[in-house]
Amino acid sequence: KIILINGKPAKGSALVEEGDEVKVMPVLSGG
């Protein structure tokens, strides 16, 4: 299963929890 974040493949920093919810570490949140 591949999760795409902002059109880019999610790395180990992205956690997939139940309910298909994707959480991204604050470090990846480009301001």
Q: Note the pLDDT of residue 28.
A: 54
What is the SS3 assignment for 20? coil
Q: Note the pLDDT of residue 31.
A: 46
Closest CA to 14 of 2, 24, 1: 24
What is the SS3 assignment for 22? strand
> What is the widest separation between alpha-carbon atoms in the chain?
27
- Amino acid identity, residue 18? E
Quickly tell me which residue has 């992205």 as its tokens: 14
Domain edges within the chain: 1-30
Q: Note the pLDDT of residue 2.
A: 60
pLDDT in tens, 1-31: 566 666 666 665 555 555 455 555 555 555 4
Q: What is the DSSP letter of 26?
A: G
